[in-house]
Structure 1
Amino acid sequence: MTATDDLLARRNRALGAGAPLFYEHPLHIVRGEGVYLFDSNGRRYVDMYNNVPCVGHANPRVVEAMARQQGTLNVHSRYLHESVVTFCERLAALHGPQIESVILTCSGTEANEVAMRMARFATGKRGIICTDATYHGNSEMVGALSRLGRAPSPNPWVRAIPFPETYRPIAPGLTGEALCEAYLAELAKAIADLQESGEGVAAMILCSILANEGLPDIPDGFMPRAAAMVREAGGLVIADEVQAGYGRTGQWWGYEVTGFTPDIVVTGKPMGNGLPLAATAASRALVETFRAKTRYFNTFASSPLQAAVGMAVLDEIEQRDLLPNVARVGAALKDALAQRKGVSATIGDVRGHGLFVGVEMIGADKAPDTVLAKRVINTLKDKGFLTSNAGAFANVVKIRPPLPFSDADMAEFLVAWDETIAELAA
C-alpha cells in the first residue's frame, strides 16, 4: 500500500466513505503558490480549475492581511468595526446604483438562501424559477434547485426551465430570434404555472454565465428579456456570481457580459481567496426588509478577519490590473482551443468568457461523451494540469485557472492538451 493509499483509507474512516475526490487516482496536494499546486512528492501541477484562490495560492498580500488581522482582533459581528463597513461599501460600489447594502455570510449556499428568502419577503410570493441543469448550493432550500432535468420538481414552489443554448437548441433548426423566443416561451409557461398554482413568482435565480450548465452560448437577448418578464410578473432577479464574478469573465461581473441588471447579487468562493467569505448584495430596502423579518446573523460573518482578507483580494485584483489579463489571456486560450475543433472530431464546441472556458467532448451525432471527458481530465492531470468535467451531461472539460494565469502557463497547457487528444485518439 502506498502512502497515498494509506491516507485515502484513513480519510474514508475519518470522514466517511463517499466524501468526493477528484480523479481516478486522487492527488495528495500539500502546497500552493500562484497558479501552481505541489503534491507530497514535490511534483508541480498547473491549477486550471480552482476559482477559490482567484488571486493565486498563498497570495502574499492576502496571507499578510489574514495574519495581521488575526493577530490584532477577530470577533463576531455585534461590534462596530470600520473595516467591515468599508469592505461592504467597496463591494456594493462595484455594482450599479441598485446595489447599496450587503449581508456577509460564509458560503455561496448560505448567500443564495439569504437571497431567495429576501426575494420572498419582498414580494410576498414563494415561487422560484431556475434552469433545469443548475447548481446553487447544498442546503435543503437551495439544493431543491439542483440539476432537476425535465421532470417536474417535487417542490411545488420550484419551476425549472430548459437552459438557453445554441449548441443543442430546444427544437431542431431554431436559431437567432426564433430560438430566443422559444426559450422565453418556456419561461412564460413557468411564470404562468407558478401564478396559477398560487405560489406566485418571488424570483428567478441564474448563474450569469450558466457555468454549471456547461457555459452555453446564450441566444442573443435572452437574459435581459427574461429579467424583464420576471419583473413584470412581480418577481426579482438574482444573479449568482459565485463562479461568474470577481473578474472571472474579464469584467467584474458575469451579468455585465450577458447583458442584464440583477436586483440581488450573490458572491462567494473567490471573495476570500480561501477564507470562507460570501455575500448577498441588494438595495438597502431589500436588505432592511430581510433584516426586519429575520433575526439573521452568522457567528463568523461580518468579522474583521473577513473584511481584512476581502479587501486584500480586491486590492490585488485592482492594483495588479488582473481584469485585462483575464480578458486577454482568456480570449487567446479560447481561440486556440476553438482552432482545434477541426483537428479532432471529438471536440464538439469551445465556449466561455475570460478565464473560464469549456470544451464539449462528443461522439457520433454530437452525442455527449462523458467517458471521454473524464479520460481527458485524468490524462491532463497525469501531465501536470488540473481540470475537471461539468455541464448538463458532465462532458464539458472545465478550465478555470486563477486570475494571474499567464501566456506561458497557457502555452504549456496547450502542448499537454494536444498530446492528450492525440493519445486518446490512438
Structure 2
Amino acid sequence: MNVIDVSSHNAFVPGEVELEDDKLRLIEERNRLLGPAYRLMYQKPLHFVRGEGVWLYDPDGRAYLDTYNNVVSLGHCQPDVVEAIQQQVATLCTNTRYIHETILELAESMLATVPGSDLSHMMLTGSGSEANDLAYRIAQVRTGGTGVIITEMAYHGITDAVSKFSATLGQGVPLGAHVRCVRAPAGYRYGPNTAERFQADVEAAIADLQRHGIKPCMLIVDTLFTSDGILPEEAGFLKGAAEAIRKAGGLFVADEVQPGFGRTGDTMWGFQRHGVDPDIVTVGKPMGNGQPIAGLLTRHDVVEQFGKSSRYFNTFAGNAVSCAAAAAVLKVIKRDAIMDNARDTGAYLLSKVEALRDKHENLGNVRGAGLFVGADIVTDRETGGYDPKRATQVVNAMRENGVLISIAGMYHNILKIRPPLVFTRENVDLFVDVLDQALESSNG
C-alpha cells in the first residue's frame, strides 16, 4: 500500500488516499501516457475488468452496482447488441459513401419513434458532441444567426464550437460572446410558474442578443436538464420557450443524449413529455449501448439549404457495425418493454429515495422521471443550504460499499442517480440500503 495525492486527476478532489501498489502503478502509467487532462472518479479510483448487466467487476471479482451509467443504457455487454456487433464486424464495415441496408433500417426505426412529427431525416455522427456541433452548423445556415441560448449549467459537448455553449465545463472553457445563459427551470428552487418564468428568461436572452447585434440561432436544452440537477418539472413547460425562439427566427434543439431512448419511462424522448416538436433532436451515448454512434433527427426544410451548400460525411458515423448495434438497441427497447420497466421501476426508485427523507434531514428535494433521479444534499432542510462536501462523502461512501453514483448541479450537491434501464426492484432495494447507510455515515 502507498499514499498518493490524487487531487489533480480526480473528479471529486479528495486529497491523499492509500492505494494498492498495482492500482498506484496504473495511475502513474495513466499520468505518464495520457497526460494531465484526464480525470478519475471517486476518492479511491476503481479498476474494472468486466461488466455484465447492471454490474461491474474489479480484478478481484468484487461486483459494483452501476447506478450511474447511461452509455450502456441496456446494461453492460447486452447479448443482442454484442451479437449484432460481432456478426456485422465479421461481415462488412463501411461508411456512408457506400450503399448498405443497415443504415436505412436504422433510419426507419429511429424516425418511427417520433410519430406525428415532421422529423424526416436522420444524420449520424460519432458522438453526442459531434451531433450538437452538426446541429449548430445546420441551425446557422437555416437561420443566418449565431446566437445560442442555454441553461446556466448546460453540457452539450467538447468540440470547439459546442464547448462555447457548455457552461458546466468551467472557467477554463469560456462561453462564447454569442451565448446567453438562462436560469435552470427548477421550480422547487425558484417557485411556481416554471413555464412562464422560463419563457420570460428565454425572451430576455433573445432581446439581449439582439441588443448586441447578434441574431438568435437556437435554443438548445437537455430536456431533463441533467447537468442543472435533473429537473423534470411539470410536463409541457417547454412549449412557450420553444415558441419564443422560433418567433425570433431561431430553432429549438432538443438534446436527448441523456434523457432519450426511453429513460423517462412514459415517452421515448424527453421532449415528447412536453408536447413540443423540436426543429432538431440530437442523440448520443445510449444509441449503440457502448458502440460509438450518435446523430440527429430533423425536418427537410431545416436541413435543405445546408445540404445544398455543404457536403457532410463522417468516416466513422454510419459505419455498418455501429448501425447494427444501434438497430439492435431499438429492437431490444421494443421487445423487452424497456420503457415500461423504466416507468415502473423508476417510480419505485423515486418513492424509496423520497422515503429516506423521513430519516435524514440532510436529504433535501428529491425528484425524477423514470430511471433518472436527482436528490439534493443540504445543510438543513429549513434553509436548503447546499452541502457539496457531504454529497461527496455520500458518493464515496457508496462506492466503498459497492454502489456507483455521481454528482450534478451548479453547487455539486445533487446526487445523480441514473442506472441502466434494465434495473430491477431488487437492484433498487440494494441501492437504497447503501444510500441509507451512506447518509447515516455522513453525519459522523
TM-score range, shorter chain: over 0.9
Does structure 2 retain, via aligned residues, the 8 Å contact 1:246–1:271? yes
| Aligned partner (choices 350, 365, 377) of residue 366 of structure 2 | 350
1:320-376 deviation per Cα after TM superposition (whole angstroms, max 9, x unaligned): 111100100001110111122232111111111100111110114211111111111
Question: What per-residue deviation string (whole Å, max 9, x for no partner) do you get for residues 274-309 of structure 1?
Answer: 111001110123233222222221111111112111
Maintained 8 Å contact 1:161/1:190: yes
CA contact (8 A) 1:176 1:220 kept: no
AA in 1 matched with 2:209: L
Is the 1:103–1:287 Cα contact (8 Å) retained in structure 2?
A: no
Quote the residue 1:415 is aligned against: 433
Larger mean Cα displacement after TM superposition, 126-135 or 215-224: 215-224
**Which of 319, 331, 336 pairs up with 2:347?**
331
Larger mean CA deviation between 184-193 and 375-384 belongs to: 184-193
2:47 to 28, 36, 55: 28
Indicate yes or no: 2:277 matched with 1:261.
yes
TM-score of the pair, normalised by structure 2: 0.91
Q: Give structure 2 stretches of 5+ with no counterpart.
A: 3-20
Match of 1:172 in 2: none
Q: What is the percent sequence identity of the aligned residues?
A: 38
Instruction: Name whichever of 325-334 and 389-398 sits farther off.
Output: 389-398
Q: Distance in 2 between matches of 1:265 and 1:183?
A: 20
- Structure-1 residue corresponding to 2:82: 63
Please name the residue that 1:45 is paired with. Answer: 64
How far off its partner does 1:219 sit? 6.0
Alignment RMSD (CA, Å):
1.8
Question: Greater shift after overlay, 290-299 or 216-225?
Answer: 216-225
**Could you tell me the TM-score, scaled by structure 1's length?**
0.95
Measured in 1, the distance between the counterparts of 2:333 and 2:195 equals 35
Aligned-partner Cα distance in 2 for 1:108–1:199: 26
SS at match of 1:130: strand
User: How far does the alpha carbon of each residue in 1:88-130 deviate from its partner, in whole angstroms, 9 at most, with x for none?
Assistant: 1211121142211011001000000111111111111111111
Q: Matched residues in 1 for 2:37 and 2:301: separation?
A: 43
- Alignment match, 2:228: 213
**Residue deviations 1:134-192 (CA, integer Å, cap 9, x gap):** 100011111111227999x75231111111111221xxxxx433x54333322111111
1:252 correspondence with 2:268: yes
Contact 1:89–1:101 (CA under 8 A) maintained in structure 2:
no
User: Do the aligned residues in 2 keep the contact of 1:77 with 1:299 (CA within 8 Å)?
Assistant: yes
Q: Distance in 1 between matches of 2:306 and 2:252?
A: 16
Shift of 1:415: 1.1
Unmatched tracts of structure 1, length 5 or more: 170-174
Residue matched to 2:15: none
Report the Cα distance in structure 2 between the residues aligned to 1:150 and 1:33, rounded to whole angstroms.
34
**Equivalenced residues, count:** 419
Mapping 1:52-91, distance limit 5 Å: 52-91=71-110
SS of 1:114's partner is helix
Q: Given the alignment, which residue of 104, 113, 116 partners 2:133?
A: 113
- Paired residue for 1:165? 186
Counterpart residue number, 2:210: 195
Q: How big is the shift at 1:221?
A: 4.8
More deviation in 211-220 or 362-371? 211-220
Name the structure 2 match of 1:378. Answer: 396
Distance across 2 between alignment mates of 1:323 and 1:85: 24
Match of 2:297 among 271, 281, 284: 281
Structure 2 CA distance, aligned partners of 1:148 and 1:198?
26
Q: For residues 175 and 326 of structure 2, what CA distance do their matches in structure 1 show?
A: 38
Question: How far off is 1:194 after superposition?
Answer: 1.7
Distance 1:17 1:176, change over 3 A: closer
Q: 74-83 or 336-345: which moved more?
A: 336-345
| 1:150/1:141 CA distance change after superposition, 3 Å | closer
The residue that corresponds to 2:375 in the other structure is 359
Query: Which residue in the other structure is 2:424 paired with?
Result: 406
In structure 1, the residue matched to 2:177 is: 156
* 3-state secondary structure, aligned to 1:176: coil
Matches within 5 A, 1:295-310: 295-310=311-326
Partner of 1:389: 407
Mapped to 2, the partners of 1:191 and 1:352 lie a distance apart of: 30
- The reply on whether 1:291 has 2:324 as its aligned counterpart is no
My pick for the range that moved more, 416-425 or 371-380, is 416-425
The amino acid of 1:317's aligned partner reads: I
Distance 1:8 1:150, change over 3 A: closer
Secondary structure of the residue aligned to 1:301 is coil
**Counterpart residue identity of residue 274, structure 1:** G
Note closer, same or farther for the CA distance 1:149–1:114 as it changes in structure 2 (3 Å cut). Answer: closer
3-state SS of paired residue (1:323): helix
Say whether residues 1:143 and 2:163 are aligned partners: yes
Amino acid at match of 2:264: T
